[in-house]
Amino acid sequence: MTVSPAIEADVLRRQDPELADVLLGERERQSTTLQLIAAENFTSPAVLAALGSPLANKYAEGYPGARHHGGCEIADVAERLAVDRARDLFGADHANVQAHSGSSAVLAAYAALLRPGDTVLALGLPHGGHLTHGSPANFSGRWFDFVGYGVEAESGLIDHEQVRTLARTRRPKAIVCGSIAYPGTWTTRSSARSPTRWARISSRTPRIPSGWWPGERRRTRCRTRTSSARRPTRCCGGRAAA
């Protein structure tokens, strides 16, 4: 099937001219204005064509070779191709290419490391933190006790002294090193003051609390770095996307 944006636009205009004008208006807005939203990506015409392909009609719950519905043999080929390309791109042994938001990825990390009510240290929302850093509108703000650190007024960089103080006084179970709107580079001023030395994390095996994943209880481990023989620490890092 040959896919042409011009032909598709004509088909949509015949069926729903009002919606066609809306879509064309959005294309015009994107092409004539400056976009500075970190969570947005602008795809090529080929990607847009693939998104409007017949695969959009297929319900393919599960994974290739282990779907819950029939007729997924072509969808399996497409997903395996995406997995192979992702593995090659990132040099990984495994890859999951099924779509999800950054928030659900953060939830998976929190579920592996924390229990509801645990204290977490993260970049505060007013300083560039993400909604998953304890916003009341997000699961993180309802399930965990978030403490926000900020940036220095003059430099706009992470206030390491504040992070150090909060880590020592609040004893968080994890320190989140990531943001949604922070222009600086995530570095520490010295190894003696790195976040992995500040937060002492319980050495118990983290587990997902009952009820987070229906019908499922798992035990997971994260890589532990030890700053001394008596202080095992974990640091939950990464940039979150909305």
Of all residues in the chain, the percent with pLDDT exceeding 70 is 73
Chosen domain end from 45, 67, 90: 90
Which position has the higher pLDDT, 31 or 204?
31
The pLDDT value recorded for residue 90 is: 94
To the nearest whole number, what is the mean pLDDT of the chain? 78
* Domain membership flag for residue 189: yes
Same domain, 69 and 162: no
Same domain, 148 and 221: yes
The pLDDT value recorded for residue 226 is: 36
Span 150-162, pLDDT tens digits:
999 988 899 999 9
The pLDDT value recorded for residue 237 is: 46
| pLDDT tier at 232, thresholds 50, 70, 90 | very low
Same domain, 116 and 57: no
Q: Is the dihedral of CA 70, 71, 75, 77 positive or negative?
A: positive
Span 170-222, pLDDT tens digits:
999 999 988 888 877 776 554 344 444 444 333 233 333 333 333 333 333 33
Instruction: Please give the tally of structural domains in the chain.
Output: 2
Same domain, 174 and 196: yes
* Domain membership flag for residue 142: yes
* Domain membership flag for residue 175: yes
Q: Provide the domain limits for residue 80.
A: 5-90
Same domain, 32 and 148: no
Same domain, 74 and 175: no
Chosen domain end from 59, 90, 121: 90
Which of these, 38, 22, 51, lies nearest to 181 by C-alpha position?
38
The pLDDT value recorded for residue 83 is: 97
Cα distance between the two ends of the chain: 34
Same domain, 137 and 231: yes
Same domain, 82 and 114: no
* Domain membership flag for residue 97: no
The pLDDT value recorded for residue 82 is: 96
For residue 142, count CB atoms less than 10 angstroms from its CB and return exposed for 0-12, middle for 13-18, buried for 19 or more.
exposed
| pLDDT tier at 80, thresholds 50, 70, 90 | very high
Same domain, 75 and 110: no
Same domain, 225 and 191: yes
| pLDDT tier at 105, thresholds 50, 70, 90 | confident
In this structure, what CATH number is given to the domain that contains residue 212?
3.40.640.10
Of all residues in the chain, the percent with pLDDT exceeding 90 is 48
How, if at all, do strands 62-63 and 119-123 pair? unpaired
Same domain, 114 and 232: yes
Q: Is the pLDDT of residue 239 over 60?
A: no
